[in-house]
């Protein structure tokens, strides 16, 4: 099975398994770059950096009355196109250097795509179903305590492939990969697979949490255990009642979660608290289609 | 004049009457608690130890080896036993000023308990507080708080964003902040297109953008205040949680220590401090930092749990640090650091509430120790200052512990010289040491004291763990004690000398296989000790024997007499005769003291010679002119001569030189004389007589020799067995003198002669010879004067030149 697994992963890598990394020069995006490089090195995947010059921003700088209000100081400064473009240009240079350095260290093939437009649109036009998009959970955000940026919101819902929302993980005593599933969802398989891969790569134990209405747990638990045993992964499966997002967040914290894998089709996404849940988790989150 | 009779054996030695010692051995005797004969000192101790007013510290003065230390220790031990045990003292962390540890006092023995209570509390804090912070309740509440604040922060911004959207204005994020621009269908309008807008529309948009910018500025500028608020609220929550956690253990301790308000106040301070540092306890990986918990420890400075009565502390190394305590430092990776737990008590702390015994000489030889002791006694509180600080050598920040009030009685032990020097030169000394306890050197020897002295010997023997003494041995010790005191009516009180004698006698008794110390062992100890110290004495005797030092002990010789002197080398004294010679010829009333002229004579000796010359002038030329040029010398004396004990001998030899009458060389003379020719007491008579006796014995045996001494010195005689033997046989005579004429008669064998009403001495008397010879001198002198015809001579009394 291990052999086929490798073969499979090779084939996916060959097909389209690129790692796309969204770079905007923010601190978090540079941290995400390191994570992306790690993943790419493990998958032997190509890396494509994407740097988008936000067209709305450039346009807004064209107005004579445009002012930039400082995110921390609250002071208003004049904003003009030339200055903004120069700033964008220098950011792009910086991003290119960082990308080259990160990938060269690992001997990976990389390219940087510079484009101008709306970030989410540009990314969606580049990403394929087998690609992994890596991005900082927030970009340049002046809003204090913001947990989920606008681009991340769009990509989590619309990307055809997996999306990794990166945050700097804090060291914990216990580190587990947690996969959150709905018992009745079809995309479970992909989420569990991603979870298993993460667990293997980081040498961390795996927990699969299954949200379900009471009394239906047994078969799915056995199926999951069988699959994971087959994959050679030590894991535990826990059943969760259909509780609120906050309750789920607590359950996950109790597991000593270091990384989370969640399917977009998980019923939690349909609920009010989905974004609150993601916001509450200060761990890297992979969202699978 | 009647020549005095020679002294009998009983007069020259005061035996210990055996009937006074009513026991077989010292085993039968009880110990003495306090020494007898020291009433003055004991009363001073009693007074000083009990006197409450300040400055009434004690100075116990007496010669070294007198047993001051042991006696003071014994006295204070019994005196202090009935006094209350003083309090314990602790240093605690000062939460207001961390470099000034506070001091609190606790009832004796409770310091330990408090220390252990606080150590238990600290370990409880270490686990209980992190547990509180890990609890579900705390986590949930902290999350709520944080979320609420985030919500409030975002709310303002979102409201602005929504307002912007509603007005078709986009709020965009830039790398450094936000900007606004008009938008349509979610996209910012091209600036070119915007130019086509009507002026009214533009005005509207720009006014709105400006308005939004202002609102945004306000919202952003509120963020720090919000953050501060959340910090405060988190702190409040922490306090609340810690208060709840601490409530139990600290409440129990407050209850337990409610009788000590200082402890209660400290516990409250601890609670506040824990609350203030609640966040530091949150680190559940490593627990609370050790430095933080160390601050709740108790430095038990003075622990009186095992003290019975008031403490009596003897500091054998009374330097500054040992007295006042010190602040130690710990070396850690090349750095020195300290805190309140490294404050160490000094002997003043330990003796607080009791007695501190110090050796005066030792404390005076330690740098700054004496000054520090005085400073502390004056201020009435112990303030710990390091020596390097006092010298101004260190200026680093260190701990400044709260001073501890002092109530101690200092007992200084020292010799008399030190006491009198301090009284004279140190203006503070008498303010601080108002009670002098003066040791008696000698004890009265009377019928009552024999048994007491025997008990004292028994006590000493027992304390030193040596054999018991039999009755004869005790009698011998008592007789020797009189000899040591140099007085038939006194006994020495010198502790060390007696103890050494007993120990040595014990040694000789063991050598001889005797089960008890007998008189012969005491004698052997005395003899051996004398022998060990006899090298120089022997050498001196040898010089006399070989004729290098000329001393005649037989025959007669004019202008020459045997004086007696005492030499002290180290602890031993011995006597030896010295030849004193005189010359006389006519002159101007001068008696030349050759010793003085050669600067070998001391002032007392010079005084004695002056007295002598005035005596001569007064007696032999009361109305006329004393025409005399005389000289006196101590032959073969190359060291200094001091004292007046040779003045009787000098008078005799000078008169012999004037009259040309020979003196018996078989007699040696000692004694001082006043201007009226009365003989006065001198010191060292035993050594002097024994010294002359030894010389006589080695010069061919004792036969008819003797010594003359002042009658007032008879009671100082405690002569050794050899001398007593020859006195008993009548081969050696000791004559007591009261007047100079008695010496003259004994030395010359002539009658001295009393003057009649006209001042004339009887025919054929010695004094008549002297007077006639002096008259002849005067005649010769006058003749000379008239020959010279210088006319300014003839000074009646010769007051200028009479030296």
pLDDT of residue B540: 93
Contacts of B206 in chain A (CB under 8 A): 65
pLDDT of residue B372: 93
Sort residue A149 into left (φ over 0), alpha (ψ -120 to 50) or beta: beta
Contact A108, A100 (CB under 8 A): no
What's the mean pLDDT when you consider all of chain B? 89
Complex confidence, ipTM: 0.76
Helix (H) or strand (E) holding B469: none
Q: Alpha-carbon distance B131 to B175, whole Å?
A: 42
Q: Alpha-carbon distance A40 to A258, whole Å?
A: 20
pLDDT band at B371 (very low <50, low <70, confident <90, very high): very high
Residues in contact with B232: Cβ distance below 8 Å, sequence separation at least 6, in sequence order: none
B285/A contact by beta carbon, under 8 A: yes
DSSP state of B744: H
CATH pick for B559-746+772-787 out of 3.40.50.1370, 3.40.50.300, 1.10.10.10, 3.30.230.10: 3.30.230.10
**Selected residue with higher pLDDT from B724 and A195:** B724
Contacts of B177 in chain A (CB under 8 A): 68-72, 142
Q: Alpha-carbon distance B165 to B428, whole Å?
A: 91
Q: Rg of the Cα trace of chain B?
A: 48
- Identify which of B598, B557, B597 has the alpha carbon closest to the alpha carbon of residue B581: B557
Smallest CA–CA distance, residue A10 to chain B, in Å, is 39
Query: Where in chain B are the domains?
Result: 1-20+447-532, 84-105+297-428, 106-296, 559-746+772-787
pLDDT of residue A1: 35
Q: Do A70 and B176 touch (CB under 8 A)?
A: yes
Contact B562, B689 (CB under 8 A): no
Strands B705-710 and A206-211: unpaired
Contact B647, B612 (CB under 8 A): yes
Q: Which of B149, B176, B188 comes nearest A68 by C-beta?
A: B176
The model's pLDDT over B739-777, given as tens digits with 9 standing for 90+, comes to 999 999 999 999 999 988 888 899 999 999 999 999 899
Token pair, residue B370, equals 């004496």
For residues B39-53, one letter each, b for 16 or more C-beta atoms within 10 angstroms of the residue's C-beta and e for the rest, the string is eebbebbeebbeeee
pLDDT of residue B219: 85
Contacts of A91 in chain B (CB under 8 A): 175
- Lowest-confidence region among B66-75, B376-385, B530-539: B66-75
CA triplet B71, B76, B77: central angle to 5 degrees?
100
Q: Which of A145, A246, A250, A275 is the best residue to mutate to test the B interface, defined by the most B CB atoms within 10 Å of its own CB?
A: A145
- Lowest-confidence region among A136-145, A177-186, B191-200, B712-721: A136-145
Q: Which CATH class is domain B84-105+297-428?
A: alpha beta
- Identify which of A33, A58, A34, A289 has the alpha carbon closest to the alpha carbon of residue A186: A289
Q: Do A63 and B191 touch (CB under 8 A)?
A: yes
For residues B435-459, one letter each, b for 16 or more C-beta atoms within 10 angstroms of the residue's C-beta and e for the rest, the string is bbbebbebbebeeebbbbbbbbbbb
Three-state SS at B544: helix
Token pair, residue B434, equals 């108002």
Residues in contact with A255: Cβ distance below 8 Å, sequence separation at least 6, in sequence order: A174, A176, A178, A207, A209, A238
Cβ count within 10 A of residue B155: 11
Cβ count within 10 A of residue B201: 12
pLDDT of residue A187: 55
Cβ count within 10 A of residue B237: 16
The model's pLDDT over B652-691, given as tens digits with 9 standing for 90+, comes to 999 999 999 999 999 999 999 999 999 999 999 999 999 9
Helical packing angle, B471-485 and B449-464, nearest 10°: 100
Smallest CA–CA distance, residue A2 to chain B, in Å, is 38
In whole angstroms, how far apart are CA A89 and each of A94, A119, B90?
A: 9, 16, 69
Nearest CA in chain A to B179: A68
| Average pLDDT for B2-28 | 90
Helix (H) or strand (E) holding B150: helix B136-166
Residues in contact with B9: Cβ distance below 8 Å, sequence separation at least 6, in sequence order: B724, B727, B728
pLDDT of residue A145: 55
Contact B304, B311 (CB under 8 A): yes
Smallest CA–CA distance, residue A100 to chain B, in Å, is 22
Q: Which of B170, B182, B191 is the best residue to mutate to test the A interface, defined by the most A CB atoms within 10 Å of its own CB?
A: B191
Query: In DSSP terms, which residues pair with B641 in a beta bridge?
Result: B601
Q: Do A55 and B179 touch (CB under 8 A)?
A: no
Q: Alpha-carbon distance B498 to B492, whole Å?
A: 8
B145/A contact by beta carbon, under 8 A: no
pLDDT of residue B221: 83
Nearest CA in chain B to A53: B174
The model's pLDDT over B215-239, given as tens digits with 9 standing for 90+, comes to 888 888 887 888 888 888 888 888 8
pLDDT of residue B487: 93
Contacts of A170 in chain B (CB under 8 A): none
Q: Do A76 and B213 touch (CB under 8 A)?
A: yes
Q: Do B174 and A57 touch (CB under 8 A)?
A: yes
Each residue's pLDDT, cut to its tens digit, for chain A (289 residues) gives 333 333 333 334 344 488 888 888 787 888 888 888 888 888 888 888 888 888 888 888 888 788 888 877 778 888 878 888 888 888 888 888 888 888 888 888 888 888 888 888 888 888 888 888 888 877 666 555 556 677 777 887 788 888 888 887 766 666 778 887 776 665 577 788 888 888 888 888 888 888 776 666 567 777 778 787 877 777 778 777 776 666 777 777 777 777 888 887 776 666 666 666 666 667 788 888 7
Residues in contact with B170: Cβ distance below 8 Å, sequence separation at least 6, in sequence order: A56, A60, B164, B180, B181, B182, B183, B186, B187, B188
Q: Do B217 and A54 touch (CB under 8 A)?
A: no
| Average pLDDT for B137-150 | 81
Contact B526, B501 (CB under 8 A): yes
Q: Alpha-carbon distance A135 to A152, whole Å?
A: 8
B96/A contact by beta carbon, under 8 A: no
Q: Which of B178, B209, B213 comes nearest A142 by C-beta?
A: B178
Residues 165-184 of B with CB under 8 A from A: 170, 172-183
B189/A contact by beta carbon, under 8 A: yes
Query: Can you list the domains of chain A with their CATH numbers?
Result: 2-166 (3.40.50.620), 176-288 (3.40.50.620)
Nearest CA in chain A to B139: A250
pTM over 0.90: no
Q: Which of A86, A143, A279, A280 is the best residue to mutate to test the B interface, defined by the most B CB atoms within 10 Å of its own CB?
A: A143
Contact B739, B677 (CB under 8 A): yes
Residues in contact with B503: Cβ distance below 8 Å, sequence separation at least 6, in sequence order: B464, B466
Per DSSP, the residues of B340-361 read GGGEE--HHHHHTTSEEEEEHH
Q: Alpha-carbon distance B95 to B83, whole Å?
A: 36
Q: Which of A120, A142, A246 is the best residue to mutate to test the B interface, defined by the most B CB atoms within 10 Å of its own CB?
A: A142
Contact A253, B140 (CB under 8 A): no
Q: Do A67 and B153 touch (CB under 8 A)?
A: no
- CATH second-level architecture of B1-20+447-532? Orthogonal Bundle (1.10)
DSSP state of B97: S
Residues found in chain A: 289
Q: Alpha-carbon distance A32 to B553, whole Å?
A: 123
Q: Do B173 and A65 touch (CB under 8 A)?
A: no
Q: Is B266 exposed, middle or buried (0-12, 13-18, 19+ CB in 10 A)?
A: buried
Contact B606, B642 (CB under 8 A): no
Smallest CA–CA distance, residue B157 to chain A, in Å, is 7
The model's pLDDT over B489-548, given as tens digits with 9 standing for 90+, comes to 999 988 899 999 999 999 999 999 999 999 999 999 999 999 999 999 999 999 999 999
- Identify which of A161, A27, A47 has the alpha carbon closest to the alpha carbon of residue A110: A47
């Amino acid at each position: 099975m291990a052999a086929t697994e490798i073969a499979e992963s090779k084939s996916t890598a060959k097909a389209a398994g690129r790692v796309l990394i969204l770079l905007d020069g923010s601190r978090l995006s540079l941290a995400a770059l390191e994570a992306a490089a790690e993943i790419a090195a493990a998958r032997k995947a190509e890396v494509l950096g994407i740097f988008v010059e936000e067209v709305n921003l450039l346009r807004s700088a064209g107005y004579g009355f445009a002012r930039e209000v400082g995110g921390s100081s609250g002071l208003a400064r004049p904003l003009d196109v030339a200055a903004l473009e120069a700033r964008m240009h220098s950011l792009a240079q910086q991003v290119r250097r960082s990308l080259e350095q990160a990938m060269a260290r690992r001997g990976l093939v990389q390219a940087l795509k510079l484009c101008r437009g709306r970030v989410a649109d540009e990314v969606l036009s580049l990403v394929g179903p087998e690609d992994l998009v890596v991005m900082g959970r927030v970009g340049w955000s002046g809003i204090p305590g913001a947990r989920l940026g606008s681009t991340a919101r769009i990509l989590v819902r619309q990307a055809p492939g997996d999306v990794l929302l990166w945050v700097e993980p804090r060291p914990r005593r216990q580190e587990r990969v947690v996969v959150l599933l709905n018992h009745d969802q079809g995309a479970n398989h992909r989420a569990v697979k991603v979870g298993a891969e993460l667990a293997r790569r980081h040498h961390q134990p795996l927990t699969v949490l299954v949200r379900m209405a009471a009394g239906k747990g047994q078969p799915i638990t056995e199926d999951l255990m069988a699959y994971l045993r087959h994959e050679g992964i030590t894991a535990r499966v826990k059943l969760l009642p259909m509780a609120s997002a906050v309750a789920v967040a607590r359950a996950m914290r109790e597991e000593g979660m270091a990384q989370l894998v969640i399917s977009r089709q998980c019923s939690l996404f349909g609920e009010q608290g989905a974004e609150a849940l993601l916001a509450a988790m200060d761990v890297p989150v992979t969202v699978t289609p | 004049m009647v020549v005095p009779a020679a002294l009998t054996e009983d007069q020259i030695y005061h035996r210990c009457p055996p009937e006074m010692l009513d026991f077989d051995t010292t085993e039968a005797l009880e110990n003495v608690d306090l020494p007898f004969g020291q009433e003055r000192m004991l009363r001073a101790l009693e007074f000083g130890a009990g006197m409450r007013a300040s400055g009434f510290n004690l100075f116990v003065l007496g010669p070294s080896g007198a047993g001051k230390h042991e006696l003071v220790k014994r006295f204070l031990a019994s005196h202090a036993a009935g006094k209350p045990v003083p309090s314990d003292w602790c240093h605690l962390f000062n939460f207001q000023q961390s470099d000034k540890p506070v001091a609190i006092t606790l009832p004796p023995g409770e310091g330990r308990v408090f220390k252990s209570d606080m150590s238990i509390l600290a370990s409880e804090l270490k686990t209980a507080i992190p547990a509180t912070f890990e609890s579900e309740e705390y986590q949930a509440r902290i999350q709520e708080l944080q979320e609420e604040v985030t919500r409030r922060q975002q709310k303002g911004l979102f409201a602005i964003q929504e307002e912007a959207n509603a007005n078709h204005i986009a709020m965009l994020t830039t790398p450094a902040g936000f900007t606004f621009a008009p938008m349509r269908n979610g996209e910012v309008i091209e600036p070119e297109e915007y130019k086509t807008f009507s002026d009214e529309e533009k005005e509207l948009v720009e006014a709105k953008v400006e308005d939004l910018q202002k609102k945004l500025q306000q919202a952003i500028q509120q963020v720090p205040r919000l953050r501060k608020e959340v910090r405060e609220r988190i702190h409040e929550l922490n306090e609340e949680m810690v208060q709840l956690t601490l409530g139990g253990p600290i409440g129990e301790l407050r209850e337990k220590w409610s009788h000590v308000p200082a402890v209660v106040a400290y516990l409250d301070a601890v609670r506040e401090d824990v609350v203030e540092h609640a966040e530091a306890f949150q680190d559940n990986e490593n627990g609370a930092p050790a430095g933080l918990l160390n601050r709740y420890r108790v430095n038990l400075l003075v622990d009186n749990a095992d003290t019975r009565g008031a403490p009596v502390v003897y500091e054998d190394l009374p330097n500054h640090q040992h007295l006042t305590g010190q602040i130690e430092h710990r070396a850690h990776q090349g750095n020195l650091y300290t805190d309140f737990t490294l404050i160490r008590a000094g002997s003043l702390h330990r003796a607080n509430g009791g007695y501190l015994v110090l050796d005066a000489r030792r404390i005076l030889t330690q740098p700054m120790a004496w000054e520090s002791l005085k400073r502390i006694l004056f201020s009435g509180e112990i303030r710990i200052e390091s020596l390097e600080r006092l010298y101004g050598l260190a200026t680093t920040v260190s701990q400044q512990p709260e001073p501890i009030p002092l109530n101690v009685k200092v007992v200084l032990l020292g010799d008399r010289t030190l006491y009198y020097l301090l009284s004279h030169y140190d203006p503070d000394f008498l303010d601080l040491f108002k009670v002098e306890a003066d040791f008696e050197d000698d004890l009265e020897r009377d019928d009552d004291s024999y048994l007491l002295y025997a008990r004292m010997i028994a006590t000493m023997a027992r304390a030193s763990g040596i054999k018991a003494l039999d009755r004869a041995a005790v009698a011998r010790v008592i007789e020797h004690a009189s000899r040591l005191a140099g007085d038939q009516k006194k006994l020495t009180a010198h502790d060390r000398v007696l103890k050494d004698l007993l120990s040595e006698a014990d040694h000789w008794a063991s050598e001889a296989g005797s089960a008890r110390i007998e008189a012969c062992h005491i004698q052997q100890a005395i003899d051996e000790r004398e022998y060990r110290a006899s090298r120089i004495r022997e050498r001196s005797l040898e010089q006399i024997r070989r004729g290098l030092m000329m001393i005649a002990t037989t025959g007669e010789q004019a202008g020459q007499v045997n004086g007696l002197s005492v030499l002290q080398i180290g602890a031993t004294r011995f006597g030896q005769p010295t030849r004193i010679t005189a010359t006389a010829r006519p002159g101007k009333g001068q008696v030349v003291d050759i010793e003085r002229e050669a600067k070998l004579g001391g002032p007392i000796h010079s005084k004695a010679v002056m007295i002598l010359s005035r005596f001569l002038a007064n007696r032999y030329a009361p109305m006329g002119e004393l025409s005399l040029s005389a000289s006196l010398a101590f032959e073969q004396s190359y060291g200094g001569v001091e004292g007046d004990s040779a003045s009787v001998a000098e008078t005799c030899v000078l008169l012999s030189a004037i009259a040309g009458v020979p003196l018996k060389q078989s007699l040696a003379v000692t004694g001082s004389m006043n201007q009226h020719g009365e003989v006065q007491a001198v010191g060292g008579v035993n050594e002097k007589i024994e010294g002359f006796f030894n010389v006589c014995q080695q010069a061919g045996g004792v036969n008819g020799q003797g010594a003359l001494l002042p009658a007032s010195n008879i009671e100082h005689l405690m002569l050794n067995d050899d001398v007593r033997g020859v006195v008993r046989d009548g081969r050696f005579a000791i004559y007591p003198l009261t007047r100079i004429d008695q010496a003259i008669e004994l030395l010359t064998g002539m009658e001295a002669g009393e003057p009649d009403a006209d001042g004339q001495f009887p025919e054929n008397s010695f004094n008549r010879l002297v007077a006639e010879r002096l008259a002849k001198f005067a005649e010769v002198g006058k003749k000379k004067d008239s020959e010279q015809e210088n006319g300014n001579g003839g000074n009646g009394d010769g007051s200028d030149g009479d030296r």
